[in-house]
Amino acid sequence: MTLSRRGFLELSGSGALSATLGLSACGGESGAGAGSDGSDGRPPVIDGSVPLASPDRGPEAVNGHLAAVAASEILCAFVPIATIEHFEASLRNLLAMHRFSAGAGANWTLVRRVSEFNTLRVGRAGVVPCFQGLQMVEQDIELIRGFKELGVGVMAITHNWKNWNGDGCLERTDLPLTGLGRLAVREMNAAGVLIDLSRAGQRTSLSAIDESATPVVFTHSNVKSVRDHPQNVTDAQIDACAARGGVIGLSAFPTLVTDRAQPVLDDFLAHLDYLLDRVGPNHVGLGLDFDDRPRKRYARDPLPDPPYAYPQGLSGPADLDNFRQALEDRGLSSSERDQVMGGSLARVLREAWAG
């Protein structure tokens, strides 16, 4: 079944949404217990932006892409459930993801606790459902708790454009968080949601970093000093994010890597080197963002049309070994390499989720 917005709002925060919607409370208290945080082994490789597994593509595409992801040893995928969709579409997509996870052919599982990382293995990826914007919440920030109950573990304050909380990185204005935006940040903190600022405007993101009680992430953004693009982060954003314990996930999305028509791996690595030098591996992760869909909303948006020319040598999950090799070539220790590959994102998930 589904629920009206009003019905959802009434149950939001009650803990009764899963049962009302006929979902098993996956990742409940009895979830995989060994170790609390994967500390008994290496952290999983995490990709902080996997739109090719978004549920509106249908179960075959989702299962197929997550199989490819898992084969490349990416064990945890942040999958966008919604960006600028309204409430009904967002809930529909989220329920579809739950349905697919329980369906035949789904060799993957939804992840709600860091402790569940222990159950992931090659061939069985974990999915963290994400909102890459808060359009669906509108002014009812109480809905955040309800969506968290249904497994949405990462939420972006806004997606490229302006909403009730603040400005997006492609907007005409660059204002700090609104009053409601500050409350939304606190609500996400209280609900145990990791805050994503990747598509937020510069000043909105800085005020969100300041407002948040727990570290935040830019799940898929590169370095503005290396490639001047509004979705990439300035030194001020990088420094503020890292100073509060946050993580920047490097994106392979071509226009964020370089202005050249065909990027190569070294273009991508220039962003890695900048971040390693400036803030170190504890604040670097991956949000590779392999995608094939149009992203423009307005003609003036500085976004290319598909097909996207991903960097040669990093054009899909199967190329991840090239990146591993580059980390080794840079002389990073094993534990530092693990941080970049997923340990840093696992750390901020643990802090935001409180377990």
Partner 1 sequence: MTLRANWGTDTGLVAEARQLHETLLVVNGLDASDFADGLIPNLRAGGVTANLVTGLRDGVRPLTTVASPHLQFLRSNQDTLVHATTVADIRQAHREGRIAIVLGWQRTDYLSEGLDNLLGFHYLGLRSSGLSYNVGNYVGSGCVDPEPGGLSHFGVEVVQELQRLRIVVDIGGHCSEATSFDVLEVTDGPVVCSHTNPRGLRPGNPRTMTDGLFRAIAGRGGVIGITAFNFFLVPSGLATVDDYLDHLDYAVRLVGAKHVGIGLDQIIGRVIAGPVDPRPFPPEAYPPRYEDWIYPEELSDFTGVPLITAGLLSRGHSDEAIADIMGLNWLRVWEEVWGE
Tell me if 247 sits within 8 A of 352, measured CB to CB. Answer: no
Q: Which is nearer to partner 1, 160 or 339 (CB)?
A: 160
Q: How many angstroms separate the Cα of 57 from the Cα of each of 63, 92, 190, 345?
A: 10, 13, 32, 26
Stretch that binds partner 1, among 116-124, 245-253, 293-301, 304-312 (CB under 8 A): 293-301
Stretch that binds partner 1, among 12-20, 26-34, 58-66, 170-178 (CB under 8 A): 170-178
Closest contact distance (angstroms) between CB of 289 and partner 1 is 22
Tell me if 38 sits within 8 A of 114, measured CB to CB. Answer: yes
171 interacts with partner 1 by CB under 8 A: yes
**Number of residues that this document lists for the chain:** 355
User: Can you tell me which of 14, 24, 139, 325 binds partner 1, judged by CB under 8 A?
Assistant: 139
- Residue 126's contacts (CB-CB under 8 Å, 6 or more residues apart) are 44, 75, 76, 77, 108, 109, 110, 111, 116, 117, 119, 120
4 interacts with partner 1 by CB under 8 A: yes
180 interacts with partner 1 by CB under 8 A: yes
- Residue 249's contacts (CB-CB under 8 Å, 6 or more residues apart) are 48, 49, 198, 217, 218, 219, 220, 221, 285, 286, 287, 345
Closest contact distance (angstroms) between CB of 166 and partner 1 is 8
Q: Which is nearer to partner 1, 167 or 338 (CB)?
A: 167
Closest contact distance (angstroms) between CB of 155 and partner 1 is 17
Question: Interface mask (CB under 8 A) for partner 1, residues 117-136, using x and -?
Answer: ------------------x-
> In 3-state terms, what secondary structure has residue 236?
helix
What is 168-199 written as a DSSP string? BTTSS------HHHHHHHHHHHHHT-EEE-TT
162 interacts with partner 1 by CB under 8 A: yes
User: Can you tell me which of 172, 277, 305, 331 binds partner 1, judged by CB under 8 A?
Assistant: 172
Q: Hey, which residues does 82 pair with through a beta bridge? A: 131
Site size for partner 1, by CB under 8 A? 28
Residue appearing with tokens 């028509």 = 261
Question: Interface mask (CB under 8 A) for partner 1, residues 75-114, using x and -?
Answer: -----------xxx--------------------------
Q: Which is nearer to partner 1, 180 or 236 (CB)?
A: 180
Closest contact distance (angstroms) between CB of 211 and partner 1 is 13
Per DSSP, the chain holds a count of helices (H) and strands (E) of: 13, 9
Tell me if 246 sits within 8 A of 216, measured CB to CB. Answer: yes
Stretch that binds partner 1, among 27-35, 118-126, 164-172, 215-223 (CB under 8 A): 164-172
Structure-token pair, residue 305 = 């049309």
Residues that bind partner 1 (CB under 8 A): 4-6, 86-88, 135, 138-139, 161-164, 167, 170-176, 178-180, 183, 297-298, 300
